Amino acid sequence: MTDPQATPQKDKPWLFRTYAGHSTARASNALYRNNLSKGQTGLSVAFDLPTQTGYDSDHELSKGEVGKVGVPVCHLGDMRLLFDQIPLEQMNTSMTINATAPWLLALYIAVAEEQGADVSQLNGTVQNDLIKEYLSRGTYICPPEPSMRMITDVAAYTREHLPKWNPMNVCSYHLQEAGATPQQELAFALATACAVLDDLKSKVPAEHFPQMVGRISFFVNAGIRFVTEMCKMRAFVDLWDEICRDRYGIDDPKYRRFRYGVQVNSLGLTEPQPENNVYRILIEALAVTLSKKARCRALQLPAWNEALGLPRPWDQQWSLRLQQVLAYETDLLEYDDLFDNNPAIDRKVAELSEGAREELARIDEMGGAVKAIEYMKSRLVEANAERISGIETGNTVVVGVNKFTTTEPSPLTTGEDAIMVSDPEAEADQIGRLTEWRASRDEAAVQAALADLRAAARDGRNVMAPSIAAAKAGATTGEWGETVRAAFGQYRGPTGVARAPSNRTEGLEDVREAVDAVSAKLGRKLKFVVGKPGLDGHSNGAEQIAARARDCGMEIAYEGIRLTPAEIVAAVRDEDAHVVGLSILSGSHIPLMGDLMELMRAEGLGHVPVIVGGIIPEDDAVRLRAMGVAQVYTPKDFRLNQIMMDIVALVDQTPVAAE
């Protein structure tokens, strides 16, 4: 007879992660060891933008970006410091890295070997998904075809040498951040996985291919519509099983299992009334934990105040404690799936699956995900425009933003140190140590290793072994990046913003009249240059501003991401622009705008109004205005039509430059 007092058998909880890294390898190492001491069970490493895009910290494009959105890692010494006193053989480490994934994994392997670890026992993941970089995040380096080759080089190498390592995290997270509907998120992520497996088939022995299918993992977003999001996860499980079985002939169910980690939605975190974000994060966490069939393998939660700036260690701890309460205090892990045979859930899963199959078929007709990048990008821009329009009109309610906006002052956001700021000395410290590293290494050994890497890229050999050799010799991230750029070329992805106006005209009548009126005064169409200076590839906001300006009747010039201040100023001059709009979300707005405003004046363009949008604290906004920036917008400024009217007003009162 069963003892009624016996404790029910509990499932193991998911991995608890906190996505972290900032300033320097030393500071990030202290943060990791602190988080591990609080019960975090996996590491999730955030790298800064120069590291993600293959530049050293002292490169021109790195100015202002070093240590801002993650940790700078330029060489083996940085990687040693990052994992000092952290035994890698005992860790499950996720590294959010894509274009430079072969290089960062090479550095990780080199450090593990120095620690005396058995490399075959290393456990973790590199994200290594370049297709979503072209669609949403923007930290790509090379064109799609050679990028795909490097993805599968990593996969083939790990099969032989790191059998417990996940060589790719198909990342649909940023697709949702870029506006993807659940059906698009399902289809675009699954199409990416298929593209990788199609390429990988030729690189591993046939008898090992099923195991490699089993090593592909996913990294998914969970939004606020948590019933839909939970159904999306159940659809992912079903569709992946179906694809593995029918498309790739995988018989063993364990290799068809949909294994995924989650970062819940950061796009929906609000700057107004940020304390409400705590509830949003909890509800989104439920979407990926409640259903046993579709429960995540690892979960990382943002901090409540990430729409304001860098979270403090206490803010990260608060998010970690939420996971621990859910896993250890509730009875969630004691039950079978709570949603099996629920007709409402089954209907929603079937609807999402059918929509995803239709999109997948369309992508297949185009030749697969690599060939369909421009199509997928344009679909995301359109879907994001619909999402923003819903918030503007109030059809989509965001509490504290477009409804229930009356509020008491929040004690959580007042006082000194309410938001952590990055160490202003970190960039100089990093560059100083990089200079010392270059001076102390064996230059001949470095050049020989880089020459072998170049040859491997040219000859079609797997780039992993020569990358590891280059790491051990003392090569830098920028040198690795320059080598692959030289071998494979650089790439500028599609913006998704067509020149022709869309059919979305409702509510634009007043703005169009104002644009027409000022254009008549100017004697030509109001010309608006939109740009993204620096290395920040989060282009969603810039795309939506450009698309709305176009639909309002302005003539736009938008060439996409990763522009130097000099390139933007040249575009303003060559396009004879009336106004400039710049988007910077990485926190590097002060140094980048300082350089740009100085160049504008030097080129005789000081009369052209410049507006800036981003995650910009009010103190920084004051500094930007003092530099001559005309307007500063932050996430609370969600009414795009009002921004368009502000642009018209700025141009209408701008004096014409002296001839």
Active-site residues, by number, are 19, 173-174, 532, 536, 538
Q: State the sign of the Cα–Cα–Cα–Cα dihedral 367, 373, 378, 379.
A: positive
- Which DSSP state fits 9? P
Q: State the sign of the Cα–Cα–Cα–Cα dihedral 478, 480, 485, 490.
A: negative
- Residue 60 in tokens: 């021109």
- Residue 435 in tokens: 């200079």
Where is 612: in which H helix or E strand? strand 610-613
Instruction: Please give the backbone phi and psi of residue 593, each rounded to the nearest 5 degrees, phi first.
Output: -75, -30
What SS3 class is residue 599? helix
Q: Tell me the CB-side half-sphere exposure of residue 634, using CA atoms within 13 A.
A: 21
- Residue 638 in tokens: 């969600």
Radius of gyration of the chain (CA): 25
Distance CA 620, CA 600 (A): 20
Distance CA 526, CA 549 (A): 10
Distance CA 194, CA 180 (A): 19
Q: Which residues of 557-587 are buried (b: 16+ CB within 10 A; e: fewer)?
A: bbebbbbbbeebbebbeeeebbbbbbbbbbb
Burial label for 552, CB within 10 Å (0-12, 13-18, 19+), is buried
β-pairing, 610-613 with 579-583?
parallel
Q: Residue 460's CB: how many other CB atoms inside 10 A?
A: 9
Distance CA 493, CA 132 (A): 11
From the list 281, 152, 280, 297, the residue with the least C-alpha distance to 236 is 297
Q: Which amino acid is at 458?
A: R
Distance CA 600, CA 569 (A): 6
- Residue 188 in tokens: 């675009």
Distance CA 546, CA 549 (A): 5
DSSP for 38-88, written as a single string: TT--SEEEEB-HHHHHT--TTSGGGTTTTTSSSB---SHHHHHHHTTT--G
Burial label for 248, CB within 10 Å (0-12, 13-18, 19+), is middle
DSSP for 327-368, written as a single string: IIISSGGGSS-SSTT-HHHHHHHHHHHHHHHHHHHHHHHTTS
Residue pair 28/272 in contact (Cβ under 8 Å)? The answer is no
